[in-house]
Structure 1
Amino acid sequence: MEEFLGRFNPAVVLADQVVRLNGLAPQLKLELQYALQCRRADRSTKTPPAVVMQVVRFLRETAGSSLLECTEDHWRTSIGRPAPKDSNPRALLLYARRRIEDLAQAGGWEGEYGRDVWQLRRLGFEGNPTLSFDPIPQPWLRDLVKRWVRWQLSTGLVLETVRRGLRSLIRFARFCHRTGVASLGGVDRTVIEHYLADLQTEMAGRQRHGDQIGQLNAFLTAIRTHAWDATLPATAMLFSTDYPKRSERPPRALAEHVMAQIEHPDNLHRFEDDAHRLATLILIRCGLRVNDGLKLERDCIVLDADRAPYLRYFNHKMKREALVPIDEELHALITARQTSVGRSPRLFPRLLKNPDGLQPMSSSTYRGALYRWLERCEIRDEHGRPVQLTPHQWRHTLGTRLINKDVPQEVVRRILDHDSPQMTAHYARLHDTTIRRHWETARKIDISGTTVVLDPESTLAEAAWAKQRLGRVTQALPNGFCGLPVQKTCPHANACLTCPMFITTGEFLPQHREHRTQVLQIISAAEARGQTRLAEMNRQVAENLGTIIGTLEDDAVRSERTADAS
């Protein structure tokens, strides 16, 4: 018993396991005690006593009476050595000040709305995000922008979208200040046209150009809709013709030879952490946005009536739950991962400062691991250069792959959980453009081996391409496609290889070779049985196949030599 009690004797407790707050001013001591209590309740990170004592010694030296005597920036630059060294005591000190400030200030919108810098943590947002209205010099405009931003946040709009709107209106405010617009009543169509010209000079049709106009339009529309200020002139309007013409940007899908390297089992097993490998497979095969994938719950598998597995996730952009079908291999990997994370409610919990496993792996942690893995595996593009990619490109790649496999657009929309068919149609436009480009550049020959010229620059190019698309759908052949207008009927009973309207390209070489082998076997069998007519009919087909194969093989050899020479 004496030995047992001796273990808990204060005299034998190690010095670095004790927190002593003596020497601090009474108010400062209470503040630090409260902050430590809050941090314990948060259970978001561990706070060793040695770190607490570093903060205590620092505060003793300052001889201050409260954490609120100095700004957050002052405390950040005053304690310890420059970041990242001494990061733990610095983080504790800043945490303590924010907690005391939140306690001293009124909570909710009543206390925050009147300030020019909003601390969004007091409004229920995670982390320490802020929104600053200080850059807006006009009080009349600042008040309206704050009202607009509060309304946007109340509708559940994504914070980054709200920030983008605020940045756009800060630019508009500076323009009004520079040009002498003194009130909302002065914002008429003339001012707007002047502002549009100013935007054009700076941004010249870039994507941000149209976004700036759209955010201003949304702001002016909200003022009218909600009757926030009746002095806004009726002529203060924006029209569809005010927006710059947007060029169609293709999805940023990765090339298949890059994906072949990424998806190779040997490369995937070179991830240092199984969690990073599984997260990568989920992003590739399910098309999730990276933050949605990393925030997956541990219990994320749903089985339908046929026991087919689905991945359940929360689409944070659309603010709704979504399901995506997964294959059996991915199902097995996720099931194994569920066992390995223990009691954590997250499939990918953060490794450090996460005692209860509530916090998910951060996007920056995953991206860092991904980029180190890409470098380690030496993933290269078509020019032999190291590949530079973002995890979001796998979402584009999945959409493009599905469209290229002729999966219906509505199915693709549901898999990617797009909000509108127009978003999915973007991939279909890319697919059509890609096929047309290959069709235009590929060498097309007929049954005699003569090159068929279809001028893509002619005035009939669009009509010709439409006919080819329709022909590929309605008159699909295993080894080429029909050049006969679809309104006409085919007079040839043979399977196209004796037809003058038949066209083929090098992509069908394997089918032609296999077909020729089969035809030669038919001829040999027919001659052995004395079926002269059958043998004669197939000799013409075999001769045409020989001509086609010879021409396409010669063309392939020339292409390889040209590529080697270049």
Structure 2
Amino acid sequence: MKHIQDRLAYAYHDGEWWRLNLWNPALDGRIPQREHEPSGRHVANFAHLTTDWLREAVKWWLSVQLLTEQYVWSSVKSRMDTMKRFQSYIDQAGCAGPQLVSSPEQLRIWVRGFVDHLNSHSTLSGANKGGRLAKNSRRSTLVTVEAFYRWMYDNRAEAGSVLGDPRWGRLDSAYSVLFRLEDKPRATNQMPEDMALEDEVISQIAAGSGLLAAPKDEGGLDDRQAFHALMLLIRTGRRMNEVLMMDFDPLLPLATTGLQEGEDGAGFVARLKYQQTKITGGGPPTIPVDLEIVDIIRVQQEWAREFVTSQGAPEGTEPPYLFVQTRQNRLGLRPYASATLHHRLGNLTKMLAITDSVGRPVAVSKTHTFRHTRATDLINAGVPIHVVMRYLGHLSPTMTMHYAKTLSTTAEREFLRYKKITVDGRTVGIEPSDLFDVLHLDQRADRVLPNGWCMLPPRQVCAKGNACLTCDKFVTDASHREELQHQLTQTEALIASRQTQFTARHGEPMGEDNIWLAGRLTETRALTKVLVALDQIGVHDDGQLRAVRGAGTTDRPDPTDIEREESAS
């Protein structure tokens, strides 16, 4: 009856979809969703926000963010959790409407009280239940509340008519930056020591994974889909939703042709297309796979065909997803639920009782450890960082290095392999092991520069000297923009100063054929290209951090020349 009531509520509601207190995409097709939205978090219940002006404003804000694709449906729940904490403080401290306080002088005191409230807030669920809210949770709460108020301030004129509450029009610029820097805890992205699994642990998980498919009368869990999914998680390092939401036939021809068994790329026979459900703009969501992975997919395809046929579908019917939900899914249109797989792997964890080399229990249900492990294995095998970025679908080297842990023994072995020889062929005078200690290569696997990174493969030696800006291996992102701009300003000032001195001495300025001036002009042109590339990415990708590679190379057109040509036309 409740299900019927919900259907009738949506069918008879003739207003805007976002004005309902209960958002359910399964019943309301007007709610924006991606083509392959991860399962779970199907309903957003705004009745938890009991303050009328806050509830209606949050619904409007989130609806616009969904419509403009600033947020995705799966992120609405986290924003709701944040605003519920804000509602909790309003219930405790009271407020004077959208402006929170009756006079501007009281705003900082009220805001500081909210920060103190968060610092003493206890978690209501999870492993840390009853404990203090984690730093990242407190920071994300403050960031989200501030983003909400900044957006309401920017749209305060429209808010009065849309929400029917003219009080929003009284917001001033103080509400666009509610919290000071010291109010927000520093984000902690330290990877736990047990996130990258040891080889022996992976072997034990793989050996015991057959219990997932074994019949229940033999002590198993009788779920072949969970067994196949775990095999793909271990071997590919994909996220859980990327595996469970794959198309029924996710295999594509290998991009590189002509490779024979035993050559570079040996064993890779196809590309695997996965559903990128988290990051946009990270390149085509495909990775090369070997015959073993292809065999797993073929077996799962056969199982899925048999399942939908057993539910009454015509012989040979193929469901849209490779992994299908087995309950209330007669047509096979819904994918296997991540919550179900998590539950299965939790049971497998108890059955196997695996521990690592220091005695820590290993949770098979923490599937992200397989992703960290895969990234770590690739880095420690000497795969160039930009290739690992592409494989994991990341947007920057920093994101990739957060996933991968370079073993100190691996870093030392790889460095000492090149040992001894300098760029001009002379033997290094310092002992290789001493040089290793000086460079601290165990801390980073890539080549860190003051204004970016060098993506030259480890076994190659750079012969360009300090000409990084014009090299196609030079990578940078917006976090280095200030340093690049400073470098450009200093170089231009140096050119002007030298031109003044040269003119005073020789009676005429240096020509562009002057070897010193030509070098400096090459630097300024390269810096300009890099800065323009960063600015263009900032505009087209909504300001999100993106890595730019080789923007200053000399064979690329000068952005300033392009701008002059466009303005002339």
TM-score (normalised: structure 2): 0.56
Q: Which residue matches 1:258?
A: 201
Relative to structure 1, the CA distance from residue 123 to residue 255 in structure 2 (aligned partners, 3 Å threshold; closer, same or farther) is same
Q: How many residues align?
A: 364
Q: Which residue matches 2:232?
A: 282
Q: Which residue matches 2:508?
A: none
Q: Percent identity?
A: 26
Distance 2:436 2:245 in 1: 52
Which of 110, 116, 134 pairs up with 1:191? Answer: 110
Matched, 1:330 2:249: no
Deviations 1:304-352 (A, max 9, x none): 3545411112112236861111112111332343344332322122233
Q: How far 1:405 moved relative to its partner?
A: 1.8
Deviations 1:385-440 (A, max 9, x none): 65323122211221222122222222222111124433212135x32xx41xx69x
Letter in 2 for 1:257: E
Relative to structure 1, the CA distance from residue 416 to residue 490 in structure 2 (aligned partners, 3 Å threshold; closer, same or farther) is closer
Aligned to 1:315, what secondary structure does the other structure show?
Answer: coil
Unpaired segments ≥5 residues, structure 2: 32-38, 102-106, 122-131, 160-167, 215-222, 258-268, 306-316, 438-569
Alignment of 1:209-358 (within 5 A): 209-227=138-156, 228=159, 229-236=168-175, 237=177, 238-250=179-191, 252-264=195-207, 267-268=209-210, 271-272=213-214, 273-306=223-256, 308-318=269-279, 322-342=285-305, 343-345=317-319, 346-358=321-333
Distance 2:91 2:272 in 1: 52
Relative to structure 1, the CA distance from residue 501 to residue 310 in structure 2 (aligned partners, 3 Å threshold; closer, same or farther) is closer
Considering only aligned residues, what root-mean-square deviation do their CA atoms show, in Å? 3.7
Letter in 2 for 1:195: F
Q: How far 1:152 moved relative to its partner?
A: 2.4
- Bigger drift between 377-386 and 275-284 goes to 377-386
Aligned to 1:304, what secondary structure does the other structure show?
Answer: coil
Relative to structure 1, the CA distance from residue 211 to residue 115 in structure 2 (aligned partners, 3 Å threshold; closer, same or farther) is same
Q: Which residue matches 1:136?
A: 49
Aligned to 1:218, what secondary structure does the other structure show?
Answer: helix
Which of 370, 373, 388 pairs up with 1:397? Answer: 373
Distance 1:279 1:361 in 2: 10
Relative to structure 1, the CA distance from residue 349 to residue 169 in structure 2 (aligned partners, 3 Å threshold; closer, same or farther) is closer
Contact 2:237–2:370 under 8 Å retained in 1: yes
Relative to structure 1, the CA distance from residue 274 to residue 165 in structure 2 (aligned partners, 3 Å threshold; closer, same or farther) is closer
Letter in 2 for 1:476: R
Contact 2:212–2:226 under 8 Å retained in 1: no
Distance 1:95 1:129 in 2: 14
Contact 1:279–1:294 under 8 Å retained in 2: yes
Distance 2:292 2:184 in 1: 47
Q: How far 1:359 moved relative to its partner?
A: 1.9
Distance 1:488 1:198 in 2: 63
Aligned to 1:113, what secondary structure does the other structure show?
Answer: helix
Q: How far 1:243 moved relative to its partner?
A: 1.5
Q: How far 1:301 moved relative to its partner?
A: 0.2
Q: Which residue matches 2:124?
A: none
Q: Which residue matches 1:387?
A: 362
Q: How far 1:204 moved relative to its partner?
A: 6.5
Distance 2:21 2:332 in 1: 36
Q: How far 1:190 moved relative to its partner?
A: 3.5
Unpaired segments ≥5 residues, structure 1: 1-92, 440-468, 505-566
Distance 1:502 1:216 in 2: 49
Q: Which protein is richer in helix relative to its size? A: 1
Matched, 1:179 2:93: yes
Aligned to 1:309, what secondary structure does the other structure show?
Answer: strand
Letter in 2 for 1:271: A
Which of 144, 169, 181 pairs up with 2:83? Answer: 169
Alignment of 1:5-24 (within 5 A): none
TM-score (normalised: structure 1): 0.56
Q: Which residue matches 1:372?
A: 347
Aligned to 1:476, what secondary structure does the other structure show?
Answer: helix
Which of 417, 421, 425 pairs up with 2:393? Answer: 417
Aligned to 2:275, what secondary structure does the other structure show?
Answer: strand
Relative to structure 1, the CA distance from residue 427 to residue 341 in structure 2 (aligned partners, 3 Å threshold; closer, same or farther) is closer
Q: How far 1:280 moved relative to its partner?
A: 1.1
Q: How far 1:282 moved relative to its partner?
A: 1.2
Alignment of 1:387-466 (within 5 A): 387-389=362-364, 390-428=366-404, 430-431=405-406, 434-435=407-408
Aligned to 1:311, what secondary structure does the other structure show?
Answer: strand
Relative to structure 1, the CA distance from residue 119 to residue 111 in structure 2 (aligned partners, 3 Å threshold; closer, same or farther) is farther
Q: How far 1:268 moved relative to its partner?
A: 4.1
Relative to structure 1, the CA distance from residue 172 to residue 329 in structure 2 (aligned partners, 3 Å threshold; closer, same or farther) is same
Q: Which residue matches 1:152?
A: 65
